[in-house]
Amino acid sequence: MHLTRLGVAGLVCSLVSWSSSGPTTEARQAGSTLPAPLYNTAKQKILQGKPVVGGTVASPDPNIYCAMASAGFDYLWIEMQHSPLTFSDVAKMIWSCRGTPATPMIRVPDATEGDIQKATDIGALGIIVPTVDTVEKAEAAVKWSKYPPAGRRSLGAGQYGALYGDNYRATANDNMLVVVMIETPVGVKIADQIAAVPGVDVVFAASTDLGNFSGFHQGEPGYETLVTRIKDETLRAGRRLGGPLVWKDRQGFTFFQGPGEAVLIRAGAQASLK
**Active site positions, annotated:** 82
> Cα dist. 215→187, 208, 220 in Å?
15, 11, 10
Cα–Cα distances (Å) from 239 to 117, 180, 243, in that order, read 24, 11, 13
- Is the separation of the CB atoms in 163 and 142 below 8 Å? no
CB–CB of 146/175 below 8 Å? no
Residue 177's closest CA among 17, 69, 46?
Answer: 46
CB-side neighbour CA atoms (13 Å) of 258: 19
Q: Which among 228, 217, 149 has a CA at the least distance from the CA of 188?
A: 228
Instruction: Please state, in angstroms and rounded to a whole number, the distance separating the CA atoms of residues 266 and 216.
Output: 30
Q: What is the DSSP letter of 254?
A: E
- DSSP H/E element including 183: none
Q: How many angstroms separate the CA atoms of 36 and 20, rounded? A: 14
